Structures are given as C-alpha cells and as structure tokens.
Amino acid sequence: MASRSSVLTYHSIDDSGSVISTPPSTFRRQMEYLAFSGVPVVPLDRAVREPGCVAISFDDGFGNIADHALPILEKFRLPATVFVVSDFCGGRNDWPSQPAGMVPVLPLLGWDDLRALPKDVTIGAHTVTHPELNRLPDDECEREMTESRTEIEQRLARPVRWLAYPYGASSPRVRSLAGRHFDFAFGTSLRFLPPMPDRANLPRIDTYYLRGAFSIERLFTLPGRAYIGMRHLFREARRAVSD
C-alpha cells in the first residue's frame, strides 16, 4: 500500500506515440492494474486529503477519452476528472500557445459529450484558451480562470471546484489568484502529494513517465518513489536552465 497519495495525469489516449499520448492498450492495462492493486482509486479531493490513494485526471478533454478511456473507467468503476479548455470544447487542441508540430492536433469533447459523462467523472477548469498563466497580467490571468469556470458551470450545471494550470505553469502570483476561486489547483511537477500540500500548487505525475520500461506496477514501491523523485529533479533542473 502506498503511504503517499498521487494524482496521475493523462492527455490523449491514442497510438501516435507523442509526448501527450498514451496508447489505449497501455491505458487499459494501467487501469486494470489499479483496479486490482489494493490502492484506493478516489476523486481528486479525497486524494489530497487522505494518504495512500491515487486519483486519475485528464487534461484538455480530448475526444478519444470517450472512445478509449470511459469504457475502461466504467468497467472498473474508477472515478476521474477531466480538465476542460472552455473556448475550445467541440473544437481541436490548436490553441494559440500550442507550438506547431509538437503534439497531434485532435478533436476535443464537445458540450454534449461533457453532459453525457457519468457522475464519477468530474469536470475541472483548464482556463478559457490554454495560455501560460504566469505570462499574463493579473486581470487577464484571473479572467482565464473565472470565465472558464463560469461557462462550464452554466453549460453543464455542475460545480467546478478545481483548476489545472496549462503546461503546469504557475507562480506565487498566479497561485494566489487561483486560490481565490478554486478549492484546489494542480500543476505538473511530477511528485507524489506531500503530507501538508499547498492547495494552490498540487503536484501530479504525468503518465508519460509510466509507459516505458518503468511501469505503473512499480510506482507504489520504494524504487518507484525514488524514480519519480529523480525524474522530478531532472525536470526542475531543465526548467531552471530554460528560464
């Protein structure tokens, strides 16, 4: 049993091999493992509050979630959260900040698709247009957060309590703004949840790092925690150099 909780992050469930893509066969195997692992798979808020759990999240709201992820989640009765880019629902992931050629451009879930999601799949905000929030002035940053939340709530009649920062990018200023409007806000800092988490700067584990030789079956072991810790340090070092 894992002693620290974790939030797993997926994007697209497809066979393209891109950095945001998880093959459907890999996703099925990972969910089957979680369903029978003995590690409780819980909603995001429970993972934040309780040790020894895992939560599942999807960023961007790709349409292939409905084709490849939902049937598996429903089969194993696993909860999940989809973080939605409100202005692009029913469109494609070609938002202005997306570098050309870096990831596949694919259809996103539309509003009718989101309305049809089961209750165990909750909805979170992923801003209006998917910008790097730390590059925006305060008023524009706050508008991206709040207008996304408002539109999702109005269209779906569901509460939106959680935010995921696009690209995992935030700053103390951005996190302060997020804390005014959301119960929790999540980045992508590739760590297990700490014992006393900052609710506006919660880490997640990108499943890109679990689809190769290091599989999800090893994540909740001592070597798994060491592996994630090492990858986290490497990522932070690269970010420091690029900044």
Confidence class of residue 2 from pLDDT cuts 50, 70 and 90? very low
Confidence class of residue 22 from pLDDT cuts 50, 70 and 90? very high
User: Which DSSP state fits 22?
Assistant: E
Confirm if 203 and 8 have CB atoms less than 8 A apart.
no
The structural domains of the chain, with segments of one domain joined by +, span 6-242
Confidence class of residue 131 from pLDDT cuts 50, 70 and 90? very high
Sequence-ordered alpha helix ranges (H) in the chain: 24-36, 44-49, 64, 70-76, 111-115, 138-156, 172-181, 222-242
The tokens describing 79, both together, are 């909860």
SS3 label, residue 61: coil
In the chain, the amino acid numbered 74 is: E
Residue 7 has pLDDT above 50, yes or no: yes
Which CATH topology does 6-242 take? TIM Barrel (3.20.20)
Q: Give the predicted TM-score (pTM) of the model.
A: 0.93
Residue 239 has pLDDT above 70, yes or no: no
User: How far is residue 27's CA from residue 39's CA, in Å, rounded to a whole number?
Assistant: 17
Q: What integer best gives the mean pLDDT of the chain?
A: 92
Other Cβ atoms within 10 Å of 99 Cβ, number: 6
Confidence class of residue 152 from pLDDT cuts 50, 70 and 90? very high
Q: What percent of the chain has pLDDT over 70?
A: 93
pLDDT digits 0-9 by tens, 200-225: 999 999 998 887 767 888 888 777 77
Other Cβ atoms within 10 Å of 171 Cβ, number: 14
